[in-house]
Structure 1
Amino acid sequence: MEDCCRDSLLIHLPSLLLLLQLPAGGSAGECLPSPSLLLGGDITLPCRVSPAMDVENMELRWFRSKFSEAVFIYQNQREQREEQLAQYRGRTSLVKDFLTQGDAAVLIHNVQAFDNGLYTCFFRMGIFYEEANVELKVAGVGSAPQVHITGPEEDGVRVVCIASGWFPKPQVQWRALSGEKFLTFSETQAQDSEGLFTIETTLVVRDSSSGNVTCSVLNPILGQEKAMTIFIPEPFFPQSSPWKLAFMVILTVLMLLLLGAVFYIMREHTAKLQETQEWKKLHREKEEDQWIKEEALKARGKAGQDWRKEKFQALSVSLDPESAHSSLAISDDKTSVTFKDSPKDTGDETYSVLGHEDITSGCCYWEVEIRNAEEKSEWALGVCRRGVERKGWYQECPGKGFWVVGVYDKKVFSLPDNSELLVPVPHRVGVFLDLKEGDVSFYNMTDGSHIFSFPLAPSSETLFPYFRLREGDVSLTICSGDICDQEGTVGGRKRQGREAEKKKHFMHHLT
């Protein structure tokens, strides 16, 4: 740039030292000599043009190591946030009091350790520009060191010192009671999410006459130091056989206790695993027996007739509009439910309606057809007790008085544990309620396959058919007797070919 341009727009930025004291526990400490600042306080980065002039119409940019890493941008007489780094959004502001006098300082709020480093102030007006640098040094004093003995080490005693919450990386030193420094020790360091350092250093003390040892941690910028002293009794050193014997005995006992605990946990885990496997085996055998019985009964029944209808009485179900959620629309014949408008699933509402018929005894069934099911459609159906809580969001589980299955994300689940059932998504579901045996079962009425069964505890409470929607344009329609018989007959013809091949196998089990 030409000399005249530099003379007219020259920036003077003094070096800046920011001092933070970080006391143990992360709370703010006392201010250090000026300039000083508590953790989470504010700091002003000065920037001035010389000679003084009005900079309201200039472009001002504060950035870190790269021009694109913007801390603050002032352009067209307002703050620009499009290029601003995420960690500075909401934490920076322009000091506008002296813009007409050439002073364009930027205030950084809630200063953190990662704010440490070099900043560049950049001015531009037309084709002329200038920049200058300022270094921000952040310093913090963390917790006092914690020193403890961890055990014998070769021919000495191992002592560990830990200090956290320091910035920048502190200097660690071990000293004996005489003031002599230990030169040989190990050290590890780590930084937390806020950039503060945790230091762990290990010293092996071999001289039993040392008595006290001191671990000191020093902030290299502030010159502040925190220290802790620990006394090492002479019997702790390896040459003292009584201490060594006691330590070995204690260590052996601890190891035996640990091994015993591990053995107990493994035995309990093995027992639970065996119990789970036995339960799964019994459950699988029960399902296989039920499937064989179902297929055998279907083979013996009339062609196209659902075998379950021989035992269960068809229940004529109608929807109760007074029990419906305000977002649901009930058809005039009270057999179909859908949404009035497509709702947005916020997760805090459950849209349900009950059947008008109460069920207190016997065996009955009804069929429900699922229409307009889309990929994101969610629905559930089953039975519930009289007087269950159905306001807002509620849990559909047997403990709360609900026995339901449903579809979500094109998968079938049993509620409430959301266990995925590896069965096809049904388009017509039969709900078979047996209050004599204490069972409610769900079947795919298109192919006659079993979906899921719940055991029902003996109870004198009244049950009601239950229907629930959550998302999509899906509708649930209760089939009338004629419609279901017709659709069942069609399904029966489609299955006759497959069932003929299985018939011999099923009849064999009956005999």
Structure 2
Amino acid sequence: MLLIFIASAVTFSAAEFSVFVPNGSVSERKGSSAVLPCGLTPALNAKMFDLRWYKNDYNNPVLLYKDLKVQENPGDAQYRGRVSLIGELDKGNVSLRLENLTLADGGEYVCFVKSDIWYEKASVNLIVRVLGSFPLFSLAEFGDQVNVSCASTGWSPKPTLTWRDKRGRELATSHIYYKTDSKGLVSVSSWLLLSPSESEWISCSVGLSDQEMKEGRVLPRKEIWREAFIATLVLSLFIVIILTALLLLVRKGLFPPRPSHKNTKEEETLPLTGPSEERLMMWRKLRKNKVKLTVDPETCKKPLTMKQDGASVYRGQLSKSDLFQSSSFPPALSKEGFSSGQTYWEVTVDQKENSKKSWCVGVTQKPPTEETLTALCYEEHCGIYPSTDPHTQIPAEGHVTTLGLILDFKHKTLSFINVDKESHLQTFRMNNMENSKYFALISPGMKDSYPVKFS
């Protein structure tokens, strides 16, 4: 009898356990996957137990493990084909994996584990993040001041909104408003009253964190729109007068009309402008003949260091003099140069997402000068902007890890493609390309030690 009692006590204590979640909250992007952690302590073998993950309704489970297997179609239909256990049940790991997250997946999930004589449960909260739109500005005169409004839509969860001046100082405001639509997405808006400035710009940043931030900038000049309207009206009237005069000259035979015949070959290769599907079609065609570039070691000067692969550069150790150098983007150029035709190459600007805090990629002549440099640059909190105008942010569809560049001497353009999203970023119109030789330029910036690479 004593042996039976001891055996029963051991079995009972082995069956007792606690359910714990190491993180009470999990946050992931919409469309990605999430692991909701849950485990047993002590780490008992859970293969013989019943496991139920549910949200809101115990009888409508997200996943049900019973009789040594996951039951098919046990409950809520919206989770079918998207949920699984990550394994290691024998080690007490009963975590749930949820694929292809939707906004409706957000909320509290319960991890319920039951043996023949014991049960425990714990909960974990899932936050599904959605990045909203870039800030949209509007300006209105208000006496001697300018009312600047900033609005952004489509966020989840509730984002933060911050105003800053040109020097990066935060501007205080109590006028921030939030609104949630029927889909659960949050819109935010805010406004400031400012004195007119001819040179100072301000920024409005909206985001969920420092890494998930969208920023816009505006010049709060009083009457800027009225001045632009008047200038546009005067220019339009001038153009109408010129065209009318030319039409009269043509009718009187004093100015020969343009020949009506067309050069079919020239029409097929007219310059492409702006973000268009034609530009992406050109990229898909040229990508098959991508050029592999290497770094010219003579142009890779301190504090830059070239890797052994001959295609990567990174910022080395900084000396005191380096900290005060004038260039935020010390450049390295390619050995290969281009002076005709169409050339396509790619640059990896961020090997691990969100690791790079700055980079610059483009083309220039030797030696590089501001006049010959055409590039896109990136800085943390500032986003992507053209080297010719650091105050203009280039919207990017998601995080950029690889850039594709098309140098087109025929059309005198340099185009940038977001290879990850297969989307057009920017096209520069290049002047004075005749009898000029250009070289690819890359710079890892000065804000981190991660490399950029000709890929």
Is the structural similarity TM-score above 0.5? Answer: no
The structure carrying a bigger helix percent of its residues is 1
TM-score, with structure 2 as normaliser: 0.41
TM-score, with structure 1 as normaliser: 0.37
Which of the pair has more CA radius of gyration?
1
